[in-house]
Amino acid sequence: MKQYQTIVLVLTVCLIGIGTTLLQASDFIWQQISGNWSVVTDNKESYLKENRSKAFNFDYSPLINCNTIISTNSSIVFTTVTHTLTLDAPQGTATYLTFFNATDYRQFYAVQLTGNDSCITTISIIQSDIKDTTLPKQAKGNFVITTLASSDVQLAYGQPYTLAITIKNATITVLVDNKQVLSHTLNEKLEGGSIGFASKNCIPIIDNCKVYNGSTVVFEDDFSKESIRKIILKGKKLTPQEIEEQKKKQNK
């Protein structure tokens, strides 16, 4: 499993070091980064749900700025990702991502849905990358998001849709209920990475996630059992000397 970097949060004039302890269990195929994700069983149906809606803008990465869950498999190579999606309870500008080819929390591609209080208005293909590779990993705002393609849509909140993302050679195609809505050809061939879901200012409900490489299913979850590994955060207040030592280590 890919180990992601330690994050240092700046609170007023002091720094707090945050480390992660991961519970080891093979049944956990998702890792919660932020938010309040849970597997829900309701009327004999089961699904994945983010329960908090509100996200906090710490600004270390686009995924940490959202409520995010990521696959523990960090080397998924695929031709198709498909799952059902319902977005509920929009608050202001609602944002949802199905992201893929993630090599860390700042480097990934995604299909992004955005909307107002009335409906989902836009579907985009975006890329997130590191802005300045010479900066330490805990630098705030050190990422850039590029919109590669975008299309206006009118999709209803509370309505389930089937979202599919296909990759053929270097072309990404997005389908909603088997209808193509967007396509973009990259300058590079994708080599694989983690997949996941992220949201803010809305409640996403996700089910029947399947990932294919050709006709072979390489990853799937119908959310019929608990599959989320939670991150246990341990905080430690760092002295000024420890902060300087950590900066030196990360700049080596």
List pLDDT tens digits, range 58-67.
999 999 999 9
pLDDT in tens, 192-220: 999 999 999 999 999 999 999 999 999 99
CATH code, residues 31-225? 2.60.120.560
CA–CA dist 68, 37 (Å, integer)? 8
Interior angle at CA 43, CA 38 and CA 47, nearest 5: 30
What is the tally of helices (H) and strands (E) in the chain?
2, 19
Count of CB atoms situated within 10 Å of the CB of 170:
12
Spell out the domain ranges in the chain. 31-225
Q: Which two tokens stand for residue 144?
A: 């850039």
CA–CA dist 38, 49 (Å, integer)? 6
Q: Which residue has the tokens 């590029």?
A: 146
More confident residue, 95 or 252: 95
pLDDT at 216: 97
CA–CA dist 131, 115 (Å, integer)? 27
The amino acid that residue 1 corresponds to is M
Q: What is the mean pLDDT of the chain?
A: 87
What end-to-end distance do the CA atoms of the chain give, in Å? Answer: 24
pLDDT at 151: 97
DSSP H stretches of helix in 88-190:
none
> CA dihedral defined by 157, 158, 160, 165, rounded to 10 degrees?
30
Which segment of 19-23, 101-105, 147-151, 246-250 scores lowest on mean pLDDT?
19-23
Q: Per-residue confidence at 230, pLDDT binned at 50, 70, 90?
A: confident
Contact 116, 108 (CB under 8 A): no
pLDDT in tens, 93-143: 999 999 999 999 999 999 999 999 999 999 999 999 999 999 998 899 999
